[in-house]
Structure 1
Amino acid sequence: MTIASTPTQDAERPLRKDAARNRELILETAAEVFAEQGLEAGYDEIARRAGIGVGTVYRRFPERSELVQALFETRIDEMVAIGEQAAAIPDAWEGLTWFFEKSVEKQVADRGLKEVMVQTLSESGQMTVGRERIGPIVESLMERAQADGALRQDVEVTDLGMQLMLIGSLSTPEQPELWRRYLTLLFDGLRARPDSTPLPLEAPPDEAMHMLMCNLQGRRA
C-alpha cells in the first residue's frame, strides 16, 4: 500500500534542498574569500558576497573549524581529481611533474587553500585522512616514474609531500610565480642520474609529518 505524503513532509523537502544549496553556496563563497583574505576573513564578508544572512552561515557552520574541515574535504577531492588526470598521462615523468605543478599552482593562486591544507593537515587525525586519499595516488605516480628510470629510487612519498607544501609558499607580490623557479630546481634534483648524490638520511616516517606540519604553522605539536 502506498502511503500518501503529508503536507508537513512535502514542505520539508524544499527546505532540505535549500539547505544543501546554501551549504554549497557558502563553501564556494568562503573559498573565494579565504583565497583573497586568508582564513581570518569574517563570516559577515562571506554572507555579504553570497547574498545571504550571516545567521545562515552560522547555522550551517557554527564553528569556523567546521567550515575549514568542509573546505579541506573539498580540496582533497580536487587533489585526487588532479592525481587521476596525471595518472592518465602516458609519460610517467610528465604525469608526476604535471601533478606537482598543478598542485602548487592551485596553492599559490588560493591563499586560503594553503592555510586550509596546512592548518588541517597539522591535526594528526586529518593527516591520516589526507594521506589515505592522496598518498596512494602520489605513490602510484612515483612508482611509475621510478619503473621508467626517470625518478631517483631513494625518494619517498613524504619527501614530495613536504616539498609540495614548502614550494607552495614561495611567491611574492613582485614575483608571484617565483615558485616555478624552485619547482624546476626540485624536478632536476628528483631526476634519476648516475651521478646523483646519495641522500644522507632516511625520509621522515608518516608519524613525523604531524610535527613537521605544526612547524610550518609555527606552533608546537
Structure 2
Amino acid sequence: MTETARPLRRDAQRNRERILLAAHDVFASRGFAATLDDVAHHAGVGVGTVYRRFPTKEALVEALFADRLEDLVSLAEDALALPTGWDGLTMMLRRSIEMHAVDRGLRDAALCIGIDKHHFAKVGEHLVPLIQDLFDRAHAEGSLRSDVGINDLPIIMATVTDLARHTPPDRPAIFRRFLGLIIDGLRADPANGDLGPAITQADVEAIVDDCVPPIEARQRHKN
C-alpha cells in the first residue's frame, strides 16, 4: 500500500509543478484576466486537476507570486543603498517597470489588480515603508518635486506598463521613452507648475480596481 501511495504523491507533485509553470506563462502574457481553464489547457491537464491543487485562482496566484513579490522588496532595499534618494527612486522605478512590462502577472500582483489586496498584505507591509523612505530622502535632498508622493507611484507604474503591453515586443524603446519623460517630470524645478490636488489612496484603489474586474465577478460571469 505504501509503494502504491508514493507514485501518487510524485504524480501530484509533478502536476503541481506543471500547473505552476503553466500559470507563470499564462499570467505573464495575459495577466489575471486569464482563467484556471486557460492554465489547465496550457499545462496539458484537466481543469479538475488544477482545482484539486488550487481550489481558487486566488490560491494559485498566491502560490505563484508571494515569493516573486519579495523580489520587489529586495529591489527597494538595494535602491535605498544608493548614494541619493533620487538615484534610488529612479532605479526602483525603472527596474520595477522593466520587470512588470514583461510579466503582466507580476504587474497585476504588485498593483493588486483583480485580486483582493489582503492576499499580499505582508509584502506590502515590508515594501511600502521602504518606498516611502525613498520618497522622503528624495524630498529632503530637494531632487524630487514636493507635490509628488508615494500614491503617484502605482499610477505611474500602471500607466507605463499598460503602454508596454501595447508596445510591439521588438520596440521596448517606446515605453522606455515615455518613462524617461515621466522621470524628467518628477525632478524638482523652480519652473514646475501646480499639479493640483494630491492623489489619495482612495484614488489609487479606484483606478487600479477598474483595470480588471475582481476574480469572483469574472468567475460568476463565466458560470
**What TM-score, normalized by structure 2, do the two folds share?**
0.74
Amino acid at match of 2:171: Q
SS of residue paired to 1:195: coil
Larger Rg: 1
In structure 1, list runs of 5 or more residues that go unmatched: 1-6
Work out the percentage of aligned pairs sharing the same amino acid.
36
Going from structure 1 to structure 2, the CA distance change for 1:56 and 1:177 (only over 3 Å counts) comes to farther
Match of 2:66 among 53, 57, 73: 73
Higher relative contact order (CA 8 A, sep 6+): 2
Contact 2:30 2:105 in 1 (8 A): yes
Q: Partner of 1:92 in structure 2?
A: 85
Instruction: Report the Cα offset of residue 184 of structure 1.
Output: 0.9
Q: Partner of 2:178 in structure 1?
A: 182
Q: Partner of 1:203 in structure 2?
A: 199
In structure 2, list runs of 5 or more residues that go unmatched: 218-223
Instruction: Report the Cα offset of residue 101 of structure 1.
Output: 0.6
Instruction: Report the Cα offset of residue 197 of structure 1.
Output: 1.3
Amino acid at match of 2:208: M
Query: 1:134 & 1:189 partners in 2: Cα distance?
Result: 24
Instruction: Report the Cα offset of residue 95 of structure 1.
Output: 1.4
**What TM-score, normalized by structure 1, do the two folds share?**
0.75
Contact 1:107 1:113 in 2 (8 A): yes
SS of residue paired to 1:178: helix
Match of 1:44 among 31, 40, 45: 40
Superimposed CA distance per residue, residues 144-197 of structure 1 (whole angstroms, 9 cap, x where no aligned partner): 122222111221110112111111111311633321111111111111112211
Query: 2:70 & 2:133 partners in 1: Cα distance?
Result: 17
Contact 1:124 1:210 in 2 (8 A): no
